[in-house]
Structure 1
Amino acid sequence: MGCCSGRCVLIFLCCVQLISAVERQAFDFLGFQWAPIMINFFHIIVVILGLFGAIQYRSRYVIMYLLWTLLWIGWNVFVSCLYLDLGGLSKDSDVLSLGLSSHHSWWKDNGPGCRSENLPSPAWQNQQNPELTTVQSCWLEYQYIEILHCGVQLLISLLGVIYAFFVASSFASEEESCKFILNH
């Protein structure tokens, strides 16, 4: 196969998706977002298996990657709707932390250009509660950063579905031609 084949493009997309998922996983760990941590971890494993399938001409791994990527697209649409407060969802809920903690997106307090200001009372400054800090004047609000992460994942995933389908079908046709040659 040539360098610009569907298989090479799928390998490239899996690598980009893997880098993006690991970056997203790190920021979800910082924000104690337990549901995304678990789903990102599973996603990383499946992308590695899909990458292995594309490299080793294993159509079953590519098909598994294809099916998982469809679920991954659904997850990213759900997270986008959550941060946009669509469909009865609320970004202020504890859905992503599984109700285990009151933590939220790491970007809420640490976004680009965000300044944290403590409450003015000296008695409150000795407290260790992170809720006593207000964040003002961010260049980009945290929910838009999270939606941007989802958008990047959606774009890569949609391309991955297209190329995984193409690669899986080409592997299947190559397997059929090999069976025909071996039987005759």
Structure 2
Amino acid sequence: MGCCTGRCTLIFLCALQLLAALERQVFDFLGYQWAPILANFLHIIIVILGLFGTIQYRPRYIVVYAIWTAIWVTWNIFIICFYLEVGGLSKDSELLTFNISRHQSWWSENGPGCVRKEASMSGIKGLDGHSYISVIGCALEYRYIEVMHSSFQILIALVGFVYACYVVSVFTEEEDSCLHK
């Protein structure tokens, strides 16, 4: 097999997915988004498994990776629907934090061009030490940043799925041709 094959392309796609997942994991940790943190962690493990399977010529690992990419696309479609508030979902709900905290996406306060203003809540019983945060002037709303992240994840997962299927078919054809000789 030459280096410009489906195998090399799948290795590149897995590496790209790992980088994108790690970047996303960092920002989900900063926003205390526990459901995406768990999903990203599982995604990272499966992508490493797919990468290992591709490098070591293990089609079963690549099949697991291919199945996972379909699940990963579904998860990212859910995230897009969540942030665009499709079907009764609300981006202001605590669904992604498992109702543990009132945190939102890190991008909601730290997006490009956003100016964060804090107003002290002193004098209100039980809220001393807390502050009200308002965010103004964002060049791009945080929900669109999250949608772009998920859209990119969907794109590379779909391409990864296609290449994973191709690589599995090539590996099994090579095994079959070796068995029939």
TM-score range for the pair, normalised by the shorter chain length: over 0.9
Q: TM-score, normalised by structure 1?
A: 0.93
Counterpart position of 1:144:
144
Gap change, CA 1:114 and 1:180, over 3 Å in 2: same
1:97 and 2:94 matched: no
Look up the SS of the partner of 1:91 in the other structure. coil
What letter is aligned with 2:37? Answer: I
SS state of the match for residue 96, structure 1? helix
Give, in whole Å, the separation in 2 of the partners of 1:53 and 1:78: 28
Q: Distance in 2 between matches of 1:55 and 1:158?
A: 20
Say which is worse superposed, 94-103 or 16-25, in terms of deviation: 94-103
Shift of 1:108: 0.4
Q: Which moved more, 1:171-180 or 1:56-65?
A: 171-180
What residue ranges of structure 1 are gaps of 5+ in the alignment? none
Question: Which segments of structure 1 move beyond 6 Å, counting only runs of 4 or more?
Answer: none
| Corresponding residue for residue 77 of structure 1 | 77
Quick one: which amino acid aligns to residue 129 of structure 1?
A: H
CA distance in 2, matches of 1:121, 1:102: 17
Question: 1:81-160, aligned counterparts within 5 Å?
Answer: 81-119=81-119, 127-129=128-130, 132-160=132-160
Counterpart CA distance in 1 for 2:141 and 2:7 is 38
By how many angstroms is 1:128 displaced? Answer: 3.7
Match of 1:67 in 2: 67
* Cα deviation code 1:130-173 (max 9, x no counterpart): 5x010001011100000010011011011001100100111111
Equivalent position SS for 2:180: helix
Sequence identity, in percent?
54
AA in 2 matched with 1:62? I
Structure 2 residue runs without a partner (length 5+): none
TM-score, normalising length: structure 2? 0.94
Count, aligned residues: 179
In 2, the alpha carbon distance for the partners of 1:121 and 1:100 equals: 22
How far 1:122 moved relative to its partner? Answer: 7.2
- 2-side partners of 1:81 and 1:161: how far apart? 22
Report the Cα distance in structure 2 between the residues aligned to 1:134 and 1:156, rounded to whole angstroms. Answer: 35
Which residue of structure 2 lines up, in the alignment, with residue 19 of structure 1?
19
